[in-house]
Amino acid sequence: MNHSLYSGSGIVPEMDDVQFSRWQSLLEERTGMCLPAQRRSFLQTSLGLRMQEVGCDSYQEYYDRILSGPAGAIEWNTLVDRLTVQETRFFRDPDAFAFVEQHMRHMQRALGEQETFEAWSVGCSSGEEAYSLAMVAEEVLGHSGRRFAVTGTDISTIVLRKARAGRYMSRSLQWLPEFCRASDMLTLDSGHIQISDSIRKSCCFSQVNILNLDACPLEQQHLIYCQNVLIYFRRWRRREILNVLAQRLAPGGVLIIGLGEMVDWQHPLLEPVRSSRVSAFIRKSETSTGETARR
């Protein structure tokens, strides 16, 4: 029986076990993402639609094109954009952002007078998460004259372009807390919201493959927000990612991940936050780290 799918513009060919395994391995090798068997139809549809666009008749032909020189590298980047873009929204986890606000208020007192509060949104997608962090920072730190900066990183160049533009459908307003709607952090324009220039200038966006975090220059972060990212990786790779992020925190800085994403992970530099609402870790001070090492 032929189980090919109809896409609306043509027939998406059926993907056999050999081809699924081949593409599954390539995706994990290059991005670290582990695509389970339950998502075969997603992979088949995504590949099939792109194959129609570029005129490839089989998964093998497209696979060979992906591996062929500079043109293949460009095509691979296009495909990764299709396969890795995940749903996101402003203030997606209210409990986590309540913890972010609490942490920023604490750091407001702990930071040096000229020190900038640094935050990093890992896997920022189209920017809503990074801008949410910036809006909280503006409310907590900006009003008292404190400087802050938010960096958003993602592997997809398409979503990063959207993030830099800072323009979203007006339905996004439903996820924004009242202090954002009532402020000058955004404007309404013909069915869209536009993030204000002041908030956008506090944010920068950069392409980073999470497998290459060692090469990422971000250091001494006061907040690293990494939610809904680790679930796409194998457990051993999640540990590798978190170990690198732990090293990038400043003393007193906080790492926030999704509830249940890594329940048994520990790191000697970090102290877990005891909470049933948020999964977070605080970087110990240099003094306490040294004391731990001597024990």
262: phi then psi, degrees, rounded to nearest 5: -160, 85
| b/e per residue 205-221 (b: at least 16 CB within 10 A) | beebebbebeebebeeb
DSSP H or E stretch at residue 84: helix 69-84
pLDDT at 93 over 90: yes
275 CB-side CA count, 13 A: 17
- Give the span between the Cα atoms of 198 and 173, in whole angstroms: 19
Mean pLDDT, to the nearest integer, of 174-185?
90
Q: Has residue 172 got a pLDDT over 70?
A: yes
For the stretch 189-224, pLDDT in tens is 888 999 999 999 999 999 999 999 999 999 999 999
**Residue located via tokens 């495909």:** 79
Inform me whether the pLDDT recorded for 262 exceeds 70: yes
Residues shown for the chain: 295
Amino acid at 145: G
Token duo for residue 274: 């005891």
Q: Where in the chain is the domain with CATH 1.10.155.10?
A: 5-84
pLDDT score, position 190: 82
The whole-angstrom separation of Cα 35 and Cα 233 is 8
Q: Measuring CA to CA, how many Å separate 282 from each of 84, 108, 259?
A: 29, 16, 16
Q: Which CATH number fits domain 94-294: 3.40.50.2030, 3.40.50.150, 3.40.50.2000, 3.30.559.10?
A: 3.40.50.150
Architecture of domain 5-84: Orthogonal Bundle (1.10)
Write the pLDDT tens digit of every residue in 50-88. 999 999 989 999 999 999 989 999 999 889 888 876 678
20-30: pLDDT as tens digits: 999 999 999 99
Contact 262, 232 (CB under 8 A): no
Q: Which residues sit opposite 109 in a β-bridge?
A: none
Q: How far apart are CA 177 and CA 98, in angstroms?
A: 11
Residue 3 confidence (pLDDT): 42
Position 293 pLDDT exceeds 50: no
For residue 166, give the nearest of 208, 207, 127, 206 by alpha carbon.
127
Task: State the span(s) of the chain assigned CATH 3.40.50.150.
Answer: 94-294
